[in-house]
Every structure is written in C-alpha cells, then in structure tokens.
Structure 1
Amino acid sequence: MASPLYMDRVIAPHRSLTPQGAAVLLAVVMAFNILVAIFLLVVGAPPVLPFLGLDVLALWIAFRASDRAAKRVERVQVTAEAVTVSREDEKGARTVWTSPTAFTRVGVDLPGEHDARVRLMIHRKRLTLARSLSPEERVNFANALQDAIRAARNERWS
C-alpha cells in the first residue's frame, strides 16, 4: 500500500509577459528603430544604422532565455518513507533526488534580503530548492516543507 503524500508541490517560475506580449514589445521596438533609422538617414548619419538592430537582437535573446528558463520545473513530494525532489530542465531532462524522511532536515539560509535559500540536508549532502520563488515565498515553502516532514515522521513512528 502506498503511503500518503504529506506534500506534493510543483514549483515553476512565473513569467508575467506572455509570448504574444513579447512579440508585441519586439514589434514596437522595431518600429521605433525604423523611425530612428529614417531620421538618421535624413540627417546623414548612415554609419549608425547597423547598431540600431543590436538592441532588438539583445531583447530577442533575453526573451528567448527567459522562455527557456520558464520551462524548468521542480516537484517536491514528502511521504513517510522518503522526500523526493524531481527537477525537469528546459530540454526535458529529469533528475531525481531522494532521501529518507527520518534523516532529512530543512534549512533556510538568510544571508541577505534577496538571498534566502531553502535547502534539504542529509549528512553532508545538500540540495537547494525553490530558486524560482521570491524570498518570502521561499521561507513560507520551507515552513510548509518542514511541517510536512514532521507530519510524515510522526506517522512513521506512531
């Protein structure tokens, strides 16, 4: 019989700009660059024209990198037997980290306001979790994870 899940959480990055919004923003930047290019041609400064496309290229590369990063997913599951973290990257490759619930500890490092880290620890092994969450969400996630591990341990030993 499978033991109950005390936590089954999927952590995925949130992107506020949709792909359609990114396309519209790129189109607006390109239209503005065309207007500037026309002005520069009229003024007599054609050597500047090739550089106008660099900002569009940089913006496109940044949106592409953001879209790839948005495909990264973490799934955290806590049962009475094990804590399992599976990560799927943007290419679909999956890595799984499993540790016994009885010996797994949750640690929160708060070195700075924006550098909070949630870590699962067992012996000398550490795994950093929830990098895509805000610092406040990381602390809340760490508390929920600690509660789930505590409840799973109680079930196992009672």
Structure 2
Amino acid sequence: MSWAQLYMDAEIKPNRSLSERGFVILISFITLVNVASAMIFVSQGAAWVVPFLGLDVLAVVVAFIVSYRSGQIVERVQVSPSAIRVTWESPRAQRLVWESPTAFTRLTLERDEEDRVMGLRLALSGRETPVAAALSPGERGEFAEALEQAIRQARRHRG
C-alpha cells in the first residue's frame, strides 16, 4: 500500500474552549461557593451537607479531566490512490479505525431540513464508519467537499 502520495492528510481535533487557567478559575469559584454554602449549612446544624458539597466539587473536577483526555484524541483521515485510512491518535497510542480501497469506498452524508451535514460516513460493502463527528455541521460540510475532492483525485491517479 503506497502512502507516499496523499491527496488528503487531515487531522480533526475536538474543540475545547476552556483553557487550563480557565479551569483553575472555574474550580476555584465552585469551591468558594460550596465552602460558603457549607458554612451556612453547618451554622444551621446540617453538617451532613458538607461531604456532599465536597463530592460535588470532586465530580466537576473528574468530569473536566475526562473531557480533557477525550479532547486529546485526534482523528486522522488519509486518502491515497490505493486506500482511505481513518485512525484515532492519542498521546499514548494510535488505533486504526477504518481502511478500505479508494476505488470502492463511498462517502454518505446525512443532512437536516436546513441542508446542513449532520453525519458523514465512509461506506464499503455494507460496512460504515462515521467521520469528522467532532466538527460542527458547517465544518463537516466543508470537510465532506474536501474529502470527496481528494477521493476523486486519488481515483484519477489510479487510472
């Protein structure tokens, strides 16, 4: 399989709008609000509320850590004259999700009432895999056009 000539080598990265500094500020604010609430509840004799407020802060921290880790996964789509390959890459590993011959692979689009691309899939012989799910509908539509163009060019190169 020749990967020397690629007609597309796209990296799709999930958007994470909260920076590390923003995360620290948000957690500090949530902690401050929970400590103030805990003081009010303790002053009224409801000491059992304090552990639950601590669990609340812990749950928010864990949710953000999980979100941050999933945001590190990069989807790579490569189109060569011989094959289309989709891999998921993280800082620790790389996993092949899809590989199929360029000549026989179809691109299917799912559109909503406003003609936005809501789903994008590669298909071959009854098998399908979603592609570019991390993109917005507008970005997904632009990516679909670029992917279709790359597939057409790769098919022409084969012939």
What is the TM-score of this pair, normalised by structure 2?
A: 0.86
Q: Structure 2: where are the runs of 5+ without partners?
A: none
RMSD: 2.3
Partner of 1:155: 157
Paired residues, number:
157
Give the 3-state SS of the residue equivalent to 2:123 in structure 1.
strand
Using the aligned pairs only, state the percent identity.
43
Check whether the contact 2:38–2:50 (CA below 8 A) recurs between aligned residues: yes
Partner of 1:31: 32
Instruction: Look up the equivalent residue of 1:118 and give its one-letter code.
Output: L
Within the alignment, does 1:62 sit opposite 2:63 as a pair?
A: yes
TM-aligned CA deviation for residue 37 of structure 1: 1.5
Would you identify which runs of 4 or more consecutive aligned residues in structure 1 move more than 3 Å? 111-115
Q: Structure 1: where are the runs of 5+ without partners?
A: none
Partner of 1:143: 145
Shift of the 19–111 alpha-carbon distance from structure 1 to 2, 3 Å rule, reads same
Q: Please give the alpha-carbon distance, in whole angstroms, between the structure 2 residues aligned to 1:2 and 1:38.
A: 63
Residue from 121, 124, 128 that aligns with 2:123: 121
Q: Please give the alpha-carbon distance, in whole angstroms, between the structure 1 residues aligned to 2:39 and 2:4.
A: 68
Within the alignment, does 1:7 sit opposite 2:22 as a pair?
A: no
Check whether the contact 1:109–1:118 (CA below 8 A) recurs between aligned residues: yes
Check whether the contact 1:68–1:90 (CA below 8 A) recurs between aligned residues: no
Q: Please give the alpha-carbon distance, in whole angstroms, between the structure 1 residues aligned to 2:67 and 2:119.
A: 21
Q: Please give the alpha-carbon distance, in whole angstroms, between the structure 2 residues aligned to 1:3 and 1:89.
A: 23
